[in-house]
Amino acid sequence: MLTLTPLPAFEDNYIWVLHDDRHAVAVDPGDPAPLIAFLDAHRLRLTAVLITHHHRDHTGGIARLRQRYDCAIHAPANPRIPDVTHVLQGGDSLDIAEPELHFEVLATPGHTLDHISYVGHGNLFCGDTVFGCGCGKLFEGSPAMMAASLDAILALPDATRVCCAHEYTLSNIDFAKTIDGSNPALLERERADRALRAQDRPTLPSTLALEKATNPFLRFHEDDMRIFAARYLNRPPPGPTEVFGAIRAAKDAWDG
């Protein structure tokens, strides 16, 4: 039996922990302190760390965790990620003995060029590629890159749990309502997620089905998003990539 836990870190990060009551795997531990406290409290041994990309709020705990637990570090090839023991890229498979886990690795560039995501046991650990009702900023990649990454995620089963690395959901919903405010699924999600946050509970994981219904960045193939993009660009967008680019540009402008 596997248990999935989002551990809050910094102001709005989540470190995801998957464990079998004895051994644990952690995803993107930027801050080692909350993870070590959790492992100690539950008497768990950390056997592996999974890294999605090189940003410090995802990698900052690696050195201390590696020293303390002698755990494997699985990550994309990037010299800015320290102490990597196993380099991964899209199309790879990853097997971990304790706990017994199997993941498929997706290449998901866009937010960064090195970004990968991990799919297994009904979970998608997507780092900063998808957020609750949002997606990551394009710090290094292009709209075409991110659109292709999102298409790979859209191909996963609807029941997939979407395990994002930040609690940005309510802010993303506020933006989504500016371009998709008549979407009843979005309005219901807002009600449910505001109730969760009022109780200091995470809005994550969501499901891919919920993201498909409410997340404008995953709806860039749909007619209502195409209509928005045409209005935003003041011309008909030639294809889904341009629709996605218009949504991303609108969010960047909304963020100020």
Asked if 55 is an active-site residue, the reply is yes
Q: How many residues can be counted in the chain?
A: 256
Asked if 53 is an active-site residue, the reply is yes
Asked if 184 and 207 count as a contact pair (C-beta separation under 8 A), the reply is: no
- Non-local (6+) Cβ contacts of 226 within 8 A are 237, 243
Catalytic residue among 19, 23, 111, 115: 111
Asked if 111 is an active-site residue, the reply is yes
Catalytic residue among 19, 23, 28, 57: 57
Asked if 118 and 67 count as a contact pair (C-beta separation under 8 A), the reply is: no
Asked if 110 and 149 count as a contact pair (C-beta separation under 8 A), the reply is: yes
Catalytic residue among 19, 23, 74, 128: 128
Catalytic residue among 23, 54, 58, 74: 58
Catalytic residue among 19, 23, 28, 53: 53
Asked if 23 is an active-site residue, the reply is no
The three-state secondary structure class of 152 is helix
Q: How far apart are CA 55 and CA 125, in angstroms?
A: 15
State residue 180 phi and psi, 5-degree precision.
Answer: -145, 35
Asked if 128 is an active-site residue, the reply is yes
The three-state secondary structure class of 205 is coil
User: Of the candidates 223, 49, 243, 16, which has an alpha carbon nearest to the alpha carbon of residue 144?
Assistant: 243
Catalytic residue among 74, 115, 166, 180: 166
Just list the catalytic residues.
53, 55, 57-58, 111, 128, 166
